[in-house]
Amino acid sequence: MEGIKLVEETKTMRGLDAIRLAIEEEMERDESVFIMGEDIGKFGGCFFVTEGLLEKFGPERVRDTPISENAILGCAIGAAMAGMRPIAEIMFADFLTVCMEMIVNQAAKASYMYGGQISVPVTIRVPFGTGIMGAAQHSQSFESWFMHVPGLKVILPSEASDFKGLMKTAVRDDDPVIFFENKRAYYLTADVPLDKDFTIPFGQARIFTEGDDVTLVATGAMVQESMIAATKLTEENIHCEVIDPRTLVPLDKKTILTSVEKTGKLIIVDEGCKTCSVSAEIAAIVVEEGFQYLKKEIIRINTPDVPIPYSPKLEKKIIPNAKLIQEKIKKLI
Amino acid sequence: MNGGELPKELSSDELINIYKKMLLIRKFEQRITKDFGKIKSPLVHTYTGEEAIAVGACMAINEDDYITSTHRGHGHFIAKGGDVNSLMAEIYGKEGGICKGRGGSMHVADFSKSMLGANGIVGAGPPLALGVALASKMRNEGKVVLTFFGDGAANQGMLHESMNLAAAWKLPVIFILENNMYGWSTPFHAATAIKDFSIRAQGYGMKGFTIDGNDVIEVYKTIKEAVDIARNGGGPTLIECKTYRWQGQTIMDPDKYRSPEEKEEWKNRCPIKAYKTRLIRGEIIDKVMIQEIEEMTLVKIDESFKFAKENKNPDPSTVLDNVYKKPIKYGGN
């Protein structure tokens, strides 16, 4: 068959459709996969990610739950301990605060503290971030908290095909995975492979665009903003390398360090509050392991340390955007 | 109370086994109390005085039925058939411990015996029990889960969520509330306005019973009944077993908050002594056998101590093992 290259079949879809497709395919493939959460059945999920799954798989495998996040996660983790592969949805990342126990002290610890007797193959899906006038308790970005908990894998894709490939990997993974779904990325479209075995390994960053002048590491909605900034700047002959780590634990340090070695300059953009954020960790890694590559100071672009306001005018003021990123790049170069 | 007929469905051997197990737990706890200076951890909680609950309850289930335990878990571990040597070695933090010295007293677990772990977080067992029960239900395995927790855990929000979900989904869970009268130093009547926790069951749509937790046969019979209901799809039951913690909260607790008179009164209601009297009256055992059992038990405990003492410490180079099922790779492609 030499010389014949198979054309990968793809379909253009939104991020949220890609997640649904991944879940649907995994539920078809493996009977031990099921999904549970608040209003995920008849209603189809707060962001309609699970729409249609109840009709297809029935109420045993698509389970609407009471508003009891500890019970939802306890139930999912316990089922995982007994050999199932549950996917649990926490409706908003902000609600993780009421079920931290199950994630931090139970799921993350079970393999280690029980001496490797078991693993906990649970996937916890969490919509997060701003953009829907959610205000202080429905807009937060808590991903960095979970990077601090050994035993968890922390996944944060920004684009539809990554949503699909990484969700499938998450479901098949034997460890507890917390899967952050950016609300704005839900509605961005991209070409998604239809191959039912399309998976993306954890720990591999994605380079969205290559460039020699500055490395731009961004997550979630900030990838799109960074790409807009990078595209604009090509007109001024400034070439950015935009990297989305996609998985925060495990983190692909090598791709970031290799890029910084090439560009000598690093800007990190993330939607979380600045203190102890994802950007803080990445900056620390680069200083520790790639200090010799740096020609300039590292720039972090974050939401300032403030609760997310309701008014769009105020929200817009604090969330990093393409214009701000562009300004910071020009100032650095 | 502690005087009725012995259940006819249990053979003499089974009745004697109940006695042996209770005694094994008692002697085990007495030994680690005596040796607390060697153990060094202040966070070792003994089950002395409460033996009838774990043993009576585990007698009412099959080997492949599950249990979840508490921070006071040695008794549950032994009652479920866990190996005493590996339990002792775990408390001593040795490689031959059931969790390879990673968990310690508060995390003893034997998944091969469906003993899903002691748990250092008060009230965290019941949410996990939901999932194990759900898995059993979804796979039509007919297995049930006993979830042990104390009067302290009874006031945790997690328990409320768990009892509600178990009832709503008719999960095969039996909630076993070991009311040992104190949450550390706080008497349960100071923490709650009710005399019997079992009245809460009604509020969840399940049956509730308060029984003498020091009567091993009453525990066995009541839990057997609840197990039969759960196994046949009838859902959960709450069983409050009134008992008393003979020792302080931990083996290091000077226990000055309880009067000597109160402790003496409960010691007079010793579950093991009362059961022994019944066995003698029922002509199941005689004084010679009692002597033999006592000696055999002490030999077993001595052996377990010897096993723990001679067992090697975990190799420090393995300290990062089992955080994840496979060590995660930083640095991807």
Domains of chain A: 10-193 (3.40.50.970), 206-332 (3.40.50.920)
Please indicate, yes or no, if residue B268 is contained in any of the structural domains. yes
Please indicate, yes or no, if residue B313 is contained in any of the structural domains. yes
Residues of B in Cβ contact (< 8 Å) with A116 = 100, 321-322
State yes or no: pLDDT of B118 exceeds 50: yes
Please indicate, yes or no, if residue B68 is contained in any of the structural domains. yes
Residues of A in Cβ contact (< 8 Å) with B329 = 203, 250
Span A52-105, pLDDT tens digits:
999 999 999 999 999 999 999 999 999 999 999 999 999 999 999 999 999 999
Please indicate, yes or no, if residue B156 is contained in any of the structural domains. yes
Q: How many CB atoms lie under 10 A from the CB of residue B5?
A: 8
Span A198-223, pLDDT tens digits:
999 999 999 999 999 999 999 999 99
pTM: 0.96
Count of structural domains within chain B: 1
DSSP state letter for B284: S
| ipTM (interface predicted TM) | 0.96
Please indicate, yes or no, if residue B112 is contained in any of the structural domains. yes
Write down the pLDDT at residue A107. 98
Write down the pLDDT at residue B255. 93
Write down the pLDDT at residue B120. 96
Span B9-20, pLDDT tens digits:
999 999 999 999
Q: Is B140 in the A-facing interface, judged by CB distances under 8 Å?
A: no
Please indicate, yes or no, if residue B4 is contained in any of the structural domains. no
Distance from CA of B41 to the nearest CA of A (A): 16
What CA–CA distance (Å, rounded) separates B252 from B249?
A: 8
Please indicate, yes or no, if residue B121 is contained in any of the structural domains. yes
H-run or E-run covering A55: helix A53-57
Please indicate, yes or no, if residue B1 is contained in any of the structural domains. no
Write down the pLDDT at residue B329. 67
Write down the pLDDT at residue A44. 97
Q: A148 an active-site residue?
A: no
Q: Which token pair is A83?
A: 């050999």
Please give the average per-residue pLDDT across B5-9, as a whole number: 91
Chain B contact probe: residue of A87, A97, A112, A166 with most B CBs at under 10 A: A112
CB contact (8 A) between residue A115 and residue B121: no
The edge-to-edge listing of strands for the beta sheet with B66-68 is B66-68, B145-150, B173-179, B237-242, B207-212
State yes or no: pLDDT of A1 exceeds 50: no
Write down the pLDDT at residue A255. 97
Write down the pLDDT at residue B333. 39
The number of residues making up chain B comes to 333
State yes or no: pLDDT of B1 exceeds 90: no
Write down the pLDDT at residue B323. 96
Please give the average per-residue pLDDT across B166-180, as a whole number: 98
CATH number of the domain residue B153 falls in: 3.40.50.970
- Nearest chain B residue to A248 by CA: give it: B330
Residue A191, classified by CB atoms within 10 Å of its CB into exposed (0-12), middle (13-18) or buried (19+), is: middle
3 state DSSP class of A156: coil
Q: How many CB atoms lie under 10 A from the CB of residue A283?
A: 19
Write down the pLDDT at residue A6. 64
Split at pLDDT 50, 70, 90, the class of A8 is: confident
Closest CA to A157 of A118, A129, A122, A134: A129
- What is the widest separation between alpha-carbon atoms in chain A? 59
State yes or no: pLDDT of A284 exceeds 60: yes
Span B27-62, pLDDT tens digits:
999 999 999 888 889 899 999 999 999 999 999 999
* Cα Rg, chain A, nearest whole Å: 20
Residues of B in Cβ contact (< 8 Å) with A175 = 324-325
Write down the pLDDT at residue B330. 57
Write down the pLDDT at residue A118. 96
State yes or no: pLDDT of B258 exceeds 50: yes
Span B190-202, pLDDT tens digits:
999 999 999 999 9
Cα A186 to the center of its chain, rounded Å: 11
Provide CB contacts within 8 A for B1, sequence distance 6+: B212, B215, B218
Q: Which of A14, A63, A125, A138 is catalytic?
A: A138
Which domain, by its residues, includes B154? 12-318
